[in-house]
Structure 1
Amino acid sequence: MTQDNIYAHFHPDEHRFVDQAAEWVARAEQHEVKRTDFLDPRQAFILTSLVNRSADVQVRFEGGHPNAERKRAIVAPDYRVLDDEEMGIRLIEVSSTDDSLGDLDHGDYMGAILGLGIKRDKVGDIYVLPTGCHFLAAAEIADYIVLHLNQVHRVHVHTGTLPLDKLQATETKLDEMNLTVASLRLDGIVSDVYRLSRAKVLVPIKAGRCKVNWKQEEDPSKPLKQGDVVSLKGFGRFKVLEVEGLTKKGRYRIRIGKYA
């Protein structure tokens, strides 16, 4: 399959990552081993697709927890045993004696981490706890985070590392809402979830600032289905938890979960 044919399967904005992943696979065919940064589920899908095209290459994913969303990968020749490979993941704990710690959310912790100048792809999943948070980070920047992460949204915190088996992987908190919509179109549901006019929703969607299941989606009419995860840059993300059926007036009853 030519490179042009590979591109046909992916959004133009994904082509840079496709090139990168294709290079990892090509080098693995030449007996090299590549450990990636943390990948989102869409990137993991692209990498898996390219690995599956080669009979001589394998890939292993690890995110610190079986249900991790973001994972590092090792791309290697098929003869290499990957079970014992060092994945380069460290568990970092953030804690504090400040009572206001319990008011912090995922975005607060993410903002504080990225505020240190760390790239998003060096950070895995973040699990918010009543006593602070646990999050996964690339081993190569773990010491830097421990040294410099001492405040999260005006709350002074203590930061340290723990063994991976001490991870408290909390379930993602979703704020549920019930909607009745005329159709399952992307623009209509996004409009209702974020209480924006249809016209205001069309602008970011067509500008490429909306993703469905981590894939950029620019078609406002795309129908959503149960299980889809939608993100709109600047507004957050939500999941279609259930399509419950039709009302007597022919509108769809759906249950949405907004990520806190």
Structure 2
Amino acid sequence: MNTDNILSHFHPDEHRFVDKATEWVERAEQHAAKLTDFLDPRQAFIVTTLVNRTTDVQVRWYGGHESAERKRALIAPDYRELDSEDMGITLIAVTSLDDRLKDLDHGDYMGSILALGMKREKIGDIHVTEHGCHFLVATEVADYMRLNLQQVHRIHVQTEQLPIDRLQASDTKLEENSLSVASLRLDGIVSDVYHMSRAKVLIPIKAGRCKVNWKQEEDPSKPLRSGDVVSLQGFGRFKVLDIEGITKKGRYRVKIGKYV
């Protein structure tokens, strides 16, 4: 596989992952299967692109539920039957007798999980419910997580391992808002969404802390389109729900949804 030709299609900061994924595919061509950690949609796109370049390799995706965002991949020779393979995903439920648990959000649970020294790649989707949280984790670290996750945002919690089919998947919640912007540039929309000056927004964008559709984006002038998902490190993420039109003054009406 011509690695140089492949790398030219991806952002330089993605090259390390592309090299790693290329190795997985090449090993599968040599009859060795690879079960990856949880991958985000951009990484999944890269793996799928590489697998599609050969007829000798296949990939199975699984994230614990049908609409999972983060999934593990099993990359294997094309003759291998993958449907019955164990994908190494465990469901952990977090509960508490403390009424304040209902006020916790996705970021609270994520922060507490990562504070245990856990790599993000070992964690799948996190589903916040009225009674706590269900999250998916790589089976190889499930016992460690279950035994050590005892507090979330200073609230004492209990953890329990459950069968995958008992997952309570939460609906994605978006806080909708309409903006009037001079252009569809990334920096302009991000500054309006997070109520920051454009000068301040340029700093994290140019430092590589902004992603569009899970791909690092350092060009502040990149035009956004309906359906784009934008994340800014430390501020969360939002989705461009619709480009509603242009006002009489030539400004764009944009509907966005902030993930909550």
TM range (shorter): over 0.9
Q: Unpaired segments of 5 or more residues in structure 2?
A: none
Q: 2:172 aligns to what?
A: 172
**SS of 2:203 mapped into structure 1:** helix
Q: 1:158 aligns to what?
A: 158
For 1:15 and 1:188, locate their aligned partners in 2 and report how far apart those are by CA, in whole Å: 29
For 2:88 and 2:222, locate their aligned partners in 1 and report how far apart those are by CA, in whole Å: 38
For 1:2 and 1:20, locate their aligned partners in 2 and report how far apart those are by CA, in whole Å: 14
Answering whether residue 136 of structure 2 is matched by residue 132 of structure 1, we say: no
Q: 1:203 aligns to what?
A: 203
Q: 2:248 aligns to what?
A: 248
For 1:51 and 1:195, locate their aligned partners in 2 and report how far apart those are by CA, in whole Å: 42
Q: Unpaired segments of 5 or more residues in structure 1?
A: none
Q: 1:18 aligns to what?
A: 18
**SS of 1:38 mapped into structure 2:** strand
For 2:99 and 2:197, locate their aligned partners in 1 and report how far apart those are by CA, in whole Å: 39
For 2:233 and 2:30, locate their aligned partners in 1 and report how far apart those are by CA, in whole Å: 39
CA-to-aligned-CA distance 1:85-105 (integer Å, 9 cap, x gap) = 100000110001110000100
Q: State the 1:206 CA deviation.
A: 1.1
1:61 partner amino acid: W
For 1:205 and 1:147, locate their aligned partners in 2 and report how far apart those are by CA, in whole Å: 38
Q: 1:237 aligns to what?
A: 237
For 2:120 and 2:37, locate their aligned partners in 1 and report how far apart those are by CA, in whole Å: 9
Q: How does 1:58-73 map to 2 (within 5 A)?
A: 58-73=58-73
For 1:147 and 1:204, locate their aligned partners in 2 and report how far apart those are by CA, in whole Å: 36
Greater mean alpha carbon deviation, residues 34-43 or residues 244-253:
244-253
CA-to-aligned-CA distance 1:77-131 (integer Å, 9 cap, x gap) = 0000110010000011000111000010000000111111110000000000010
Identity of aligned residues (%): 73
For 1:182 and 1:66, locate their aligned partners in 2 and report how far apart those are by CA, in whole Å: 39
For 1:242 and 1:131, locate their aligned partners in 2 and report how far apart those are by CA, in whole Å: 33
For 1:179 and 1:24, locate their aligned partners in 2 and report how far apart those are by CA, in whole Å: 44
Moved over 4 A (4+): none
Q: 1:219 aligns to what?
A: 219
Structure 1 vs Structure 2 CA RMSD: 0.8
Q: 1:55 aligns to what?
A: 55
Aligned length: 260
**SS of 1:16 mapped into structure 2:** helix
For 1:162 and 1:133, locate their aligned partners in 2 and report how far apart those are by CA, in whole Å: 12
Q: State the 1:29 CA deviation.
A: 0.3
**SS of 2:177 mapped into structure 1:** strand
2:257 partner amino acid: G
For 1:123 and 1:54, locate their aligned partners in 2 and report how far apart those are by CA, in whole Å: 29
Q: 1:117 aligns to what?
A: 117
CA-to-aligned-CA distance 1:148-191 (integer Å, 9 cap, x gap) = 11110011111011110111111122111110111111000001
For 2:11 and 2:138, locate their aligned partners in 1 and report how far apart those are by CA, in whole Å: 28
Q: State the 1:236 CA deviation.
A: 1.1
**SS of 1:220 mapped into structure 2:** coil
**SS of 1:86 mapped into structure 2:** coil
Q: 2:193 aligns to what?
A: 193
